[in-house]
Amino acid sequence: MSSISKILFGGSIALALVSRTFAYDFGRPANPDEIALWDIDVRPDGTGLPEGKGTVAHGKDVFAENCAACHGDEGVGGIKDRLVGGQGTLKSDAPIKTVGSYWPYATTLFDYIHRAMPYQAPGSLSVDDTYAVAAYILSLNGILPENGELDRNSLPKIKMPNRDGFVPDPAFNPDTLFRKRSR
């Protein structure tokens, strides 16, 4: 009871002391195997990308089967987000924001398809199919050649056309926000 009181009414110092002592009073340790099941995020440097590969050619088939119904043939004209084109429109009164015209990182494309697509059955595409369909979408946007292929090494090296199109809010600029603390 007194430790709870400390937690409730003490400051963060009391919090830290109590939690170090009784850490495993709450929850349980996570084991590495189960963490791996959920640890799906992919970062711009490629951290988190799984082993595997896929070609543009195969991606065309994966797209036709899983994506075209919502995104349209070749990623245009569907009932959901347009994926292709729009480059050069961002200053116009009717900007078209697509993977090709707007997305700053190709790694985000893999991460998003892998975690959230296809809409009705997210996570149902294999890793190879995910690389393939990402490759196909990039090729439709002129970012990969028609005979292109993607894997965990090549994907992070792609420079998206709008990579330099973003300006961080000064209040939360990742390059400067924690500079004092981390150096």
- Point out which residues bind another protein (CB under 8 A): 4, 7-8, 12, 15-16, 19-20, 23-24, 26-30, 34-35, 38-44, 90-91, 93, 95, 97, 99, 102-105, 107-108, 111-112, 115-116, 119, 122, 165-169, 171-174, 177-178, 181-182
- The pair of structure tokens assigned to 123 is 């996570």
Between CA 158 and CA 167 the distance in angstroms is 20
The dihedral through the CA atoms of 79, 70, 68, 129 has a sign that is positive
For another protein, give the closer residue by CB, 149 or 156.
156
Q: Which is nearer to another protein, 107 or 141 (CB)?
A: 107
Which residue's CB is nearer to another protein, number 105 or number 131? 105
Torsion of CA 90, 135, 164, 156, to 10 degrees: 160
Nearest alpha-carbon partner for 117 in 81, 90, 163: 81
For residue 137, the minimal CB distance to another protein (Å) is 12
